[in-house]
Structure 1
Amino acid sequence: MNSLAMIESWPVSTAAAAVVRADGTVLGSHGPAEHRFALASVTKPLTAYAALVAYEEGAVDLDEPAGPEGSTIRHLLAHTSGLAFDEHRVTGRPGERRLYSNAGFEVLGDHLTKATEIPFAEYLHQAVLEPLGMTATTLDGSPAAAGVSTLADLVRFAAELQAPRLLDPRTVAEATLTVQYPGTKGVLPGYGHQSPNDWGLGFEIRDGKSPHWTGTSSSPRTFGHFGQAGTFLWVDPDAGLACVALADRQFGPWATEVWPPFTDAVLAEASAQS
């Protein structure tokens, strides 16, 4: 796909991007497929997927208590537990506001460790990474942001999100297409206050947000995540494809400028090819 070459103009040292369909067909790839990039918050969808495996295995229930008083695993995954952004401090009542929280995912990781009796990084490996063949992906630290991976590995995960093998498709739809706590307001990091600020379970749902890190032509059902390391993964169910882009520069104005037109170009080219 010619549109993927746009990453060459990004003000970064190293970048890689790919587009994959639900059947695993890679429509295009550009940049080093095996280069290991810090994922930052693109770690969260992987953590969420592990939590959903634990749910389907019966180790946890999504609505069991976890985190602050009144909070559940569902609240933690949907950023509505009331925990602060980067502190294990309660700043609101569960379900009241969408308070994007790294601390919430760290509490989730601890909860899953206790429930499964397996250290979370190892559980993630056994439940998600190993079955998908994501051999270059590791977690050494926070379940919210300490993942490291490659373009090749995340393409495998992007294909899984579109045609699940590890989870029941209904579970994935609940996490990626179903708004949790509808109407909840909150701040989308880097993009300001959004009303509503829709999320699934560990995945942001685009809906009508503006401004946004995806494209102007992205469907409202688009879901995914971006990270402060200059990384993103989105799935557009209406377009029938997913895109992964990884870079080695901290998120900032450069990303808000280049990501949306890049996504629009990818969607336009894919549509023209179909």
Structure 2
Amino acid sequence: MLPSTEFALLRRLSLEQVNGRAPSMVAAVVRDGEVAWWGARGTVEGAAPDDDTQYRLGSITKSIVAALVMRLRDEGRLDLNDPLDKHVPGTSFGASTVGQLLSHTGGLTSESPGSWWERSEGGDWATLEASLAQDALKNRPGSRFHYSNVGYGVLGELVARHRGTDWLTALNREVLEPLGMSRTTPHPTGKHAHGWAVHPFADLLLPEPSPDAGAMAPAGQLWSTVRDLARWTAFVGGDSADVLSPDTVAEMRAVATVDDADAWTSGYGLGLQVLRHQGRRLAGHTGSMPGFLACTLVDEVTGTGALTFANTTSGPAILGLVVDLISIADEQEPNLPEEWRPSEVDRSLLTLTGLWHWGPTPYHLRLIPGGMLSLAPVNGMGRASRFRPVAQDKWLGLDGYYAGETLRVGRDTDGTPRHLDLATFVFTRTPYDPAAPVPGGVDPEGWRTA
């Protein structure tokens, strides 16, 4: 990036390291799937950390586990509306659905009973399940957002049962290795930061433990680096390789619930936190474990992402730092739009394009990249959606009011498109075309002055 931008980014990181009293911090800006800038402050073992120094991810682990669950859904092995009991029978909270567990709306307790799991050696699934035999549900499933570390321990067991192996083996095989995230591991290897607690009233450090969390590990066990987390940040932005389809990742980013309903600045999708900040829509996750803080976010519109790690239990405002890094990058060096170029299309679809009317309201139907259609009101206000083809003359709505709905093309005997049927709304080439099957029919006297 430009020297002026890099200095602004480094200064913002430096202020956070000082004000938050962090032994070390690293941060990066991600663009076009690559690290566009990274910087570091403080020391690890007497030297500056770099882009290959491992820090603990904490709850960012949840997002990566969520990708595994979504792979199972896309393979048809489960439905997000399935009750947990269908896949992990016998628990005291089996009515909570898979989708609710992913979005923290399943009603489960936030922490596993017993010793604080983040600083304690974890037991196996049987031990965790037994501890949840009573009083595991704190809220009615589906009634509200209630962040649950336990829910992701449960999802790790769900993955293990479907894959016939432990969740970590499945994660390595299906997500980390395909994305090239070789430095993302359950325990530190090679150069890594040690976790510290910083004394609140003196510049002293206390080592924090980092035990294996056992069955709770899917909630926050993993360690990673700037380079690896940058690849995950690009994944959340839609660069999903063959791990998931971009549509599935977009589904993960979509808001399933909000945790500040009146303001709607913070919500949760399927394994991803979603934020609204000064007109931006950001998706990713924060992470916190004793001795470590982490955060990754990506702007869904500009594609710019940022991430940071710190080896301290508390202090730095990592979420605000990452939001600011994205803002600095986009304000000082906004991405240029891609050049428009003509491209080949399925020319048989050209007969569908142009002016259509829902009743008296004019719409434009256009061909857009990816072999899709866009249907939008001419005046720019109202219900607009994109559609992808699923069969001959059959299209599926991807967003907006018609997300999930089916658009069907009605044709004359000679094959000319006569009308569009979109979830019972009939669009015609002229307003209320009497030759089309308009619900309720068209008055035989036609248009008049009164």
Classify the TM-score, shorter chain. Answer: 0.7 to 0.9
1:29 aligns with 2:29: no
- Aligned residue for 2:179? 132
Distance 1:123 1:74, change over 3 A: same
**Matched residue of 2:8: which SS?**
helix
Distance 1:196 1:240, change over 3 A: closer
Counterpart AA for 2:75: E
Q: How does 1:142-157 map to 2 (within 5 A)?
A: 142-157=217-232
1:79 aligns with 2:148: no
1:246 aligns with 2:321: no
Among 328, 333, 340, the alignment partner of 1:268 is 328
Aligned length: 253
1:20 aligns with 2:80: no
> What per-residue deviation string (whole Å, max 9, x for no partner) do you get for residues 139-191 of structure 1?
35410011111111001111122222121111111101x221x4x5469xxxx
Contact 1:218 1:236 in 2 (8 A): no
> What per-residue deviation string (whole Å, max 9, x for no partner) do you get for residues 32-70 of structure 1?
111110111111111111221222233332222216232
**Matched residue of 1:206: which SS?**
strand
Query: How many Å apart are 1:135 and its aligned residue?
Result: 0.5
More strand by share: 2
Q: State the percentage of identical aligned residues.
A: 30
Among 266, 270, 274, the alignment partner of 1:201 is 270
Distance 1:161 1:196, change over 3 A: closer
C-alpha separation in 2, matches of 1:70 and 1:195: 28
Counterpart AA for 1:70: A
**Matched residue of 2:284: which SS?**
strand
Counterpart AA for 1:79: H
Contact 2:103 2:271 in 1 (8 A): yes
**Matched residue of 2:139: which SS?**
coil
1:110 aligns with 2:157: yes
Query: How many Å apart are 1:235 and its aligned residue?
Result: 0.9
**Matched residue of 1:143: which SS?**
helix
**Matched residue of 1:225: which SS?**
strand
Contact 1:42 1:225 in 2 (8 A): yes
Q: How does 1:170-209 map to 2 (within 5 A)?
A: 170-176=247-253, 178-180=254-256, 182=257, 185=259, 198-207=267-276
Among 9, 14, 34, the alignment partner of 1:8 is 14
Counterpart AA for 1:85: S
Unpaired stretches in structure 1, ≥5 consecutive residues: 188-192, 208-215
**Matched residue of 2:268: which SS?**
coil
Query: How many Å apart are 1:264 and its aligned residue?
Result: 2.4
- Aligned residue for 1:47? 65
C-alpha separation in 1, matches of 2:234 and 2:36: 12
| TM score, norm. by length of structure 2 | 0.53
C-alpha separation in 2, matches of 1:156 and 1:53: 18
Unpaired stretches in structure 2, ≥5 consecutive residues: 1-5, 41-49, 86-92, 113-131, 187-211, 335-450
Query: How many Å apart are 1:246 and its aligned residue?
Result: 0.7
Structure number with bigger Rg: 2
Greater displacement, 75-84 / 162-171: 162-171
Counterpart AA for 2:56: A
**Matched residue of 2:178: which SS?**
helix
C-alpha separation in 2, matches of 1:65 and 1:34: 41
